[in-house]
A = this chain, B = another copy of it.
Amino acid sequence: MAFIVKKFGGSSVATTAKIVGVAERVLKEKEPDDKIVLVVSAMGDTTDELISMAKAIDNRPSQREMDMLLSTGEQITISLLTMAFQKLGVDAVSLTGGQAGIATSGVHAKARIVDVNPERILAELDKDKIVVVAGFQGVTELGDITTLGRGGSDTTAVALAGALGADICEIFTDVDGVYSADPRVVKDARRMKEITYNEMLEMARLGAVVMQPRSVEMGKHYGVPIHVRSTFTLEQGTIIREEYTMKEREFTIRGVTHDVNVAKVAILGVPDQPGIAYTIFSALAEKAIDVDMIVQSIRNADKKIIDMVFTISKPDVDQAKVLVEKLVKDMGALGVVIDENVAKVSVVGAGMYGSPGIAATMFGALGEAGVNIEVISTSEISISCLIKEDQVKEAVNAIHQKFFKE
C-alpha cells in the first residue's frame, strides 16, 4: 500500500477528454489499497479566459476579486475529474482548497499556505474515496478565497503530502523530469534521476520552470520526496529529495537555467541617504513584489546620488511601475527606467563553492557567444547573469556546452 499525492497541471486537464485520460491513468497505476489524493489546476486556457473577462471590465482589477474569479478554474476541473472517476466506477469526491483545509495568509494573488487541516481529506480517504483537491487556492481566516500565485498547485500538492504524511508527492508535467538545462532550448540536456532540494530550489529560483521554489521548500520542510514525471509516459522521472541515493556521473555544476520572466528596474539619481534602500525595498515588499538581483552604483560622488538597479517578475511590472514612480517623486530621484527585454541565465551546483574557475568559465562562454552581461549576482551554489532576452538561447547553449561536454 502506498499513500500518494499526485498533481496534474493545466495542460494535462485541458479538455474533458484529457480529464478522462488522467482518471484512467491514475487507475492504471493504482494498487488496490493505495490511498490517492489528486491536486489539479484549471483547465488549459480557462485562467486566460477568466483574466480576459476581468480585463474587459477593469484593466487593473482588485486582487481579491481576481482570486474570487480565478479560483473557479480549479473548481471546474475538480468536479469534472471526480465525475470521470465516478463514471469509471470508482468512488471519488472533489474538495475546494477551503474544503480541503488549506489555510492561507491574506495576500491576494500571492497567498502562502500557513496551515493544512487534513481532517476532511482523511475522512474521505477512510471511506475509500479518491480525493480530488483544487490546487492553487486556499481560504483566509475570514473565509476569503486566495490564490497562491504561479505554480501554486505544486505547492498545494506538496503541502498536502506533508500534512497528510503521504509517502511521496508526484508532480505530473509535460516534461519527464529535471534536466541539466531546458531541453526545449538545449538539445543535449541531460535528465537527472535525483536532485537535492537545495539544488532544485536554486534552479527553480533561477528559472527552471519544472518546479516552483515554494513547493520545493515545502517538500524540504516536510521531508516529502517529490517525483517529477511525465503525464504522457509511465516511466520514472526525477526524484527531488534531501540526499542522493544513487551514483550518477558528476559534473561541476548540476544545471544551467534561464528565466525570461524578469524585468529590470533602474531608479536613476536616487539621493544617497541612509535608509533609502530600505524605503524602496520595504515599499516593494509590502506589495509582495519579489525583488531579485540588486545592484547599487554610485553615479556621481559629488552630487551624492546613486542608481539603484534590480530585477522583478514581469507580471509585477504594472504594479511596481505605479509604486516606483511614486517613490521617485517622494524621494526626489531623477526617474525610473523599466526594461522588460532582459533575461537571467544561471549555473547551479552544490559542489561549486570553492571552485573559483566556474564564474570565469561562464563569463568566457558568454563572451565567446557575443552576449553582453548587464548585471551579475552570485550565491553559494549559483552564479547568475542578466542579459538581453533575445540572446537567451545562444547563451544557455554556450554555457551548457562548456560545462557538460563529454
**A interface residues with partner B (beta carbon < 8 Å):** 16-17, 19-20, 50, 53-54, 56-58, 61-62, 64-66, 68-69, 71-72, 75-76, 78-80, 82-84, 86-87, 93-94, 96, 98-99, 120, 143-145
Contacts and interface: CB of A to CB of B under 8 A. Distances in A.
B61 A76 contact: no
A75 B72 contact: yes
Given A16-B53, A69-B76, A75-B68, A84 B58 contact: yes
A57 B83 contact: yes
Contact of A58 (B57, B71, B83): B83
A58 B87 contact: yes
Given A98-B143, A99-B143, A143-B99, A79 B66 contact: yes
A291 to B, nearest CB: 28
Nearest to A81: B57
Given A72-B75, A143-B98, A80 B64 contact: no
A99 B144 contact: yes
A61 B96 CA distance: 18
Contacts of A56: 16-17
How many copies make up the complex?
A: 2
B72 A54 contact: no
A94 B68 contact: yes
A57 B72 contact: no
Contacts of A66: 79
A68 B86 CA distance: 15
A56 B80 CA distance: 9
- Of A20, A65, A69, the most chain B CB neighbours within 10 A belong to A65
Contacts of A82: 62, 65, 68
A17 B56 CA distance: 8
A79 B99 contact: no
A175 B41 CA distance: 40
A44 to B, nearest CB: 12
A61 B83 contact: yes
B143 A57 contact: no
Contacts of A80: 53-54, 57, 65, 69
A57 B99 contact: no
B84 A57 contact: yes
A86 B65 contact: yes
B72 A76 contact: yes
Contacts of A120: 143
B79 A94 contact: no
12 contacts: A16-B53, A16-B56, A19-B57, A54-B79, A54-B80, A54-B83, A62-B82, A62-B83, A65-B82, A68-B78, A68-B79, A99-B144
Contacts of A69: 75-76, 79-80
Contacts of A78: 68
Given A62-B86, A99-B143, 4 more contacts: A54-B79, A57-B83, A65-B86, A96-B145
A87 B19 contact: no
Contacts of A86: 58, 61-62, 65
B65 A94 contact: yes
Nearest to A99: B143
A84 B59 CA distance: 11
Nearest to A101: B143
A54 B78 CA distance: 11
A398 to B, nearest CB: 46
Contacts of A65: 79-80, 82-83, 86, 94
A56 B79 CA distance: 13
Given A16-B57, A19-B57, A64 B93 contact: yes
